[in-house]
Amino acid sequence: MKNNILFFISIGFLLACGNDKQDAEKPKQQQTSLTKTTFIALEKPEFDEDSAYLYVKQQVDFGPRFPNNDAHAVCAIFLKEKLSSLGFETQIQEGKATTFNNKNITIKNIIGSYNPELQKRILLFAHWDSRPFADHDEKDKTKPILGANDGASGVGVLLEVARQLNLSQPKIGVDIIFFDAEDYGQPSSLMVQSNSDSWCLGSRYWAKNPHKENYSADFGILLDMVGNSNPQFTKEGISMKYAPQIVNKVWDVAARLGYQHIFVNKETFFVGIDDHQPINEIMGIPSIDIIHYEEATGNFHSSWHTHDDNMDVIDKSTLKIVGETILAVIYQEK
């Protein structure tokens, strides 16, 4: 008993000493949120990483999701209905395309608009299809992958962003597009240089056929492979070519949130074609790509285009870092 009392007294003493003088002079309410406001001096809603993780898992649970397969059809409806339930005006844009291996596919771009009547808008996007083969794996190369990181992670983060926007009612318009058929690109081999036109079929289709006449947004942000642990987002080449001011805006916000070691201040010349390219080049909306890229190996995550790209590689804290940054960028725009 005596020991217990001593213990509580000393804990109390330690806590009292830990309160620095400045804190003690502050009103009570400010004191409780002091740590948070010191590190996060940005107004924004919270981002729930458990919810984002569930959105990733729900997609992966459908199985591989590539044009013309059954899981793809079911998942398209799931994503559209999810966005609708979160207060977005939604539609599935369908289009025809031919893949590098001469398959005729139906593309399904899932498009959602929040505050569709407002002029000032931001465009957020990710690809929702998963790669129909595992060309970077050692085995089962012709079998489709689950695409937990490559596909589902960006969509999962954006669904949670959508949920938070609906709860907090932003004063600007936000469009979220889940592009299809990003990942049906021709595999590269020693003999064949990958055909760059074979990638990003959904975003290319939308850029040529926007869902609204004269559609525009102030800028666009693409999320691609934003779910693995130890993330590194470098300033990627196409983003720096067309929208360096947006890269810097987003990287600055990330730094203010304490993520400067993840959104690293390093430019990487070219990591590959991605959905922001047609949005920049055809639509003329300055757009950037937040994509995990490992400078040391010059590659994406080791699970990239393999059967290891499953829920095991998804790290909730990465989803949170990216989601928080996106929400802070939106709320900075007012």
The footprint of ligand AHN (CB under 6 A) covers 150, 183, 185, 194, 199, 224, 272-274
- Two tokens at 185? 């690109």
The residue (of 150 and 308) whose beta carbon lies closer to Zn ion is: 150
Residue 274 interacting partner from ligand AHN, Zn ion, none (CB closer than 5 to 8 Å by kind): ligand AHN
Q: How far is the CB of 275 from ligand AHN (least distance, A)?
A: 8
Q: Enumerate residues 6+ apart whose C-beta is below 8 A from 174.
A: 113, 114, 115, 121, 122, 123, 124, 165, 330
Nearest residue to ligand AHN, scored by beta-carbon proximity: 272
CA distances (Å), 250 to each of 70, 85, 231, 266, in order? 37, 28, 16, 14
The residue (of 166 and 194) whose beta carbon lies closer to ligand AHN is: 194
CA distances (Å), 221 to each of 178, 190, 240, 286, 319, in order? 12, 33, 13, 9, 15
Residue 199 interacting partner from ligand AHN, Zn ion, none (CB closer than 5 to 8 Å by kind): ligand AHN
177-200 as b/e: b if 16+ CB within 10 A: bbbbbbbbbbbeeeeeebeeebbb
Beta strands in 115-209 (DSSP E): 121-127, 173-179
C-beta of residue 88 within 8 angstroms of C-beta of residue 187: no
d(CA 269, CA 232): 15
Q: How far is the CB of 289 from ligand AHN (least distance, A)?
A: 8
Q: How far is the CB of 309 from ligand AHN (least distance, A)?
A: 10
Selected range binding Zn ion among 56-64, 66-74, 150-158, 234-242, rule: CB under 5 A: 150-158
Q: How far is the CB of 127 from Zn ion (least distance, A)?
A: 8
Q: How far is the CB of 185 from Zn ion (least distance, A)?
A: 8
The residue (of 274 and 324) whose beta carbon lies closer to ligand AHN is: 274
The alpha helices in 228-267, defined as continuous H runs, are 237-242, 244-256
Instruction: Please report, as residue ranges, which positions from 29 to 68 form the binding site for Zn ion (by CB under 5 A).
Output: none
Selected range binding Zn ion among 53-61, 114-122, 182-190, 192-200, rule: CB under 5 A: 182-190
The residue (of 164 and 203) whose beta carbon lies closer to ligand AHN is: 203
Q: How far is the CB of 182 from Zn ion (least distance, A)?
A: 7
What secondary structure letter does DSSP report for 295?
Answer: T
* 150 in contact with Zn ion (CB under 5 A): yes
Residue 224 interacting partner from ligand AHN, Zn ion, none (CB closer than 5 to 8 Å by kind): ligand AHN
The residue (of 183 and 315) whose beta carbon lies closer to ligand AHN is: 183
The residue (of 112 and 185) whose beta carbon lies closer to ligand AHN is: 185
Beta strands in 161-248 (DSSP E): 173-179, 219-224, 233-236
The residue (of 63 and 272) whose beta carbon lies closer to ligand AHN is: 272
Selected range binding Zn ion among 149-157, 226-234, 246-254, 285-293, rule: CB under 5 A: 149-157
Q: Which of 137, 183, 236, 289 binds Zn ion (CB under 5 A)?
A: 183
* 274 in contact with Zn ion (CB under 5 A): no
Q: How far is the CB of 29 from Zn ion (least distance, A)?
A: 47
Report the SS3 class of residue 113.
Answer: strand
The residue (of 115 and 198) whose beta carbon lies closer to ligand AHN is: 198
Report the SS3 class of residue 176.
Answer: strand
Alpha-carbon dihedral sign for residues 277, 191, 98, 57: negative
The upper half-sphere exposure of residue 259, i.e. CA atoms within 13 Å in the direction of its Cβ, equals: 25
Angle at 157 between CA 149 and CA 297, to 5 degrees: 35
* 309 in contact with Zn ion (CB under 5 A): no
Instruction: State the pairing for strand pair 104-114/287-291.
Output: unpaired
- The site for Zn ion (CB under 5 A) is made up of 150, 183
